[in-house]
Amino acid sequence: MSTSKRFGAEFLCNVRYQTALPPPPFVPKLLDVPKSTERFVEYRHSSLVESTPYPLHTNADLGMPIDLFQLDAFSKRKEKPNPSAKLDPKDRALLVKPPAEGFGARSRQFVPWLRRTEYISSEITRSSPKGKAVESSFGLSATKGLEDIDYSLEGQIASVERTFKSANDPDLMSKLKHPKNPNIKPVEITPIFPDFQRLGSSYTQCSYDGFPDPTVEDKSSSSNADLTKSTNSILKPMQNPHDPSETFLAFFLPTESATEKLKKRKADELEEETSYDYEWVRDYTYESVPCTSFTQLMVYLGEDKTAHYVPIRSRLVLKKKRAKSKRGAEPYKKPTHLQITHRRPNEEEKETLREALRDIYVNDDDKEMD
């Protein structure tokens, strides 16, 4: 009698051994489950939230109690050393002056008068010795030695008046020295004043990458007629109608007939209704650089041998605009001729100039502007 053999496992399915986790030792409500609201909505705050002021509750002195009866302690200057105090022998080495760095390290007397303007701004901030400049003899010396400086309006006016007294010194010519050649002596002093007739207008300094007039090859050898065209040029702001972000300046020069009219206009031989024709020359891309108030000035000499100045509000760096390919650019019309007519300012423009003068000149009287 034969015996039958069994093959495989005794169960039809695979046996899975599972180890059940023990129950949590505390209530599931105490578990810290991270919740992120960004999964459901993206938060965007409006301008109302930004403009809403939220109270910040702090203590009155912010943890720094200040005694109101001793506020003058912050304005006191360095007191004189106590002569009765004894110096420690170990600290005497601190009073020895350090040796000069290298041979000839002794600096010369700083004299910025009659110096070239391209060197003034860099040398004043780099190597100007305090208290030795020539300006100290004009205004700073008036307050030198005073323990307290009066910053009130009356005190500032008195300080300015003292500068005029120093400028009217009869020995001023002999005190001035050339910074490079001590043998050169000053011959004449030209007074400089603000030009109140033009202070209300805005002036911009333009820097070209080349001489703008194509008919003038050499500026130094050009005639007066050529310079008359360049000095009476016009920059007209332009914008691409197909691309509002593309802005540039169109450069116009007067025609030959307009140049002759402009030369006669300086001699008051023409009426105000005379028109001047201008022709388009080229386009410029520009980069505007704002200037801080009264940091850059335009100085010019008048017919009365008195220098006047006006502040420059901004500076333009102009570069010739490159022509685009005809395939990708859409054509549009641009003005090629201008007709300019000069006129006197109206009442609204006069009032705008008066408002600008009031910000600069305190004692501004509403005089009629011509």
pTM over 0.85: no
Element (H, E) at 167: helix 153-167
Query: pLDDT at position 235, please?
Result: 92
Bridge partner list, 177 = none
Two tokens at 322? 């490159």
- Name the CA radius of gyration of the chain, rounded: 39
The domains of the chain are located at: 198-216+223-322+334-358
CA-to-CA distance for 35 and 31, rounded, in angstroms?
Answer: 12
CA-to-CA distance for 216 and 272, rounded, in angstroms?
Answer: 29
Asked whether 231 and 254 are in contact (CB, 8 A), the reply is: no
- What totals of helices (H) and strands (E) does the chain contain, helices first? 7, 9
Number of CB atoms found within 10 A of residue 351's CB: 13
- How would you write the pLDDT of the chain (370 residues) with one tens digit per residue? 556 666 666 777 877 877 788 887 777 777 777 777 777 777 777 888 888 888 777 666 666 766 666 656 666 555 556 666 788 888 888 887 776 655 455 555 555 555 555 444 444 445 444 444 444 454 455 445 555 677 788 888 888 888 888 778 888 888 888 888 888 888 888 888 888 778 777 888 888 888 888 877 655 555 554 678 888 899 999 988 888 888 999 999 999 888 888 887 765 555 667 888 999 999 999 998 888 766 788 888 877 788 988 888 888 999 998 877 666 567 788 888 999 888 888 888 888 888 877 766 655 454 444 4
CA-to-CA distance for 77 and 81, rounded, in angstroms?
Answer: 12
pLDDT tens per residue across span 266-325 = 655 556 678 889 999 999 999 988 887 667 888 888 777 889 888 888 889 999 988 776
Number of CB atoms found within 10 A of residue 295's CB: 9
DSSP secondary structure of 186-253: ------EEE-TTTTTS--EEEEESS-S-TT-S-STT--HHHHHHHHT-EEEEEE-SS-TT-EEEEEEE
Query: pLDDT at position 250, please?
Result: 92
Bridge partner list, 308 = 193, 300
CA-to-CA distance for 62 and 37, rounded, in angstroms?
Answer: 36
Asked whether 259 and 278 are in contact (CB, 8 A), the reply is: no
The tokens 């940091």 sit on which residue? 295
Asked whether 312 and 204 are in contact (CB, 8 A), the reply is: yes
